[in-house]
Structure 1
């Protein structure tokens, strides 16, 4: 199908704007975000477009934790004066370690798929990203890298570095380019939105909350109906050589990063962070 250039420009711009607005609404309206994700999970009878182990793993590993971990935890902090057992349970540190695991799983799923499709250099980048996700807190460290902001709207904050966020974005774009060429442009929109939103807010720690809401919306839409390929089908631009070159460039970028990361971590006894310093563990408790 021959899609006019202006269709690509208009549809991608509209989708990007929609995603940026979505992030802002889901961030600022904690209760609405919880209800929306619960309804997203309950829509599973309509997931007609989900096929193959990777697609099922992706949609379930995104929406289920959003509905049963992120949403309830944000609500528990939203009503932080509530001392019920369930509220205290969801304000526990276990939530942060589960979310660390979900992010790790999100990257690992795609990394396995990269290995399966022989996109080996990009797959190695996925391994590096898994190894450099900041732990929620470190035994001998002083900072808290993952937390729910106790102030409303109770954002999930993730104190990484601009470099990690950027490398995750270019790695993921390369992965999608190889795994689902037809959906590359639509997936690029959600990755750009997650990268752009924290920049616009000058708060890099908002990267993960931006990422999870855009990804949840995207996998849900793709799972129910393909609205993307009729207006932004990117399969015509796929090139196997370009994929390999992109993977090689990603690896060249990731190798110095991982060396720098572990040198910094060894010296500080905890992960490096960006210009916004994560709160001290005592303050975040």
Structure 2
């Protein structure tokens, strides 16, 4: 379960990474084209046909009447409409602001919790999200690309009848993160995801492990978290003096990602899953 024994080394409890599972390319301004009016066509003018005089024949010979051939009318030049409406030049697309300050401002605007800005890291937000999400989809945790600061409370266990159990107070250290995540507006999160998708896709092409579209990677990461089993408490653990492990082999065989979500506790995990399902439904509806 990869939780270090606090008696021998500092706790390395991973953060609830899923809080920023949907980051997100400034809206591109719409281009409006005004169709120009059709030019009025002036019918061509035809000149009068001038008859050709024919010399009369000798008196003894019959007079032949020759029909003059009409001349071809001159083609009139089309008139130039000087008041013709001009099609405006399209406005240039605004560049995507992927600076940490811009992204952080967009994320914090989705929640009224001021604590969100305090727990969110300040550097390399876009790359952190892309790398961390790619690792989640691969059932791993990118410890060096965390998006949130660590909780200050330490992981705790208690002993009863020569057996070790996770202390319920260990779950509470994730309650603030869960409250922040569930308070974030899901529709705003999805809009942010759509805005920043081109930038995230470009970054994923640089650092990703596959050539899949990044939105599929996000979907795989969310689906893997939702597949984490829910178990009753208390949860028994064992220690090898450095790491705590789950006694139940079914839990110990879970991926590192699912183990960390499980360690947030039953109630926190229930709320996190509910929020993830809501976000996933909005993404799937796009």
Query: Which interval holds the TM-score relative to the shorter structure?
Result: under 0.3
Greater percentage in helix: 1
Q: Which has the larger radius of gyration?
A: 2
TM-score, normalised via structure 2 length: 0.24
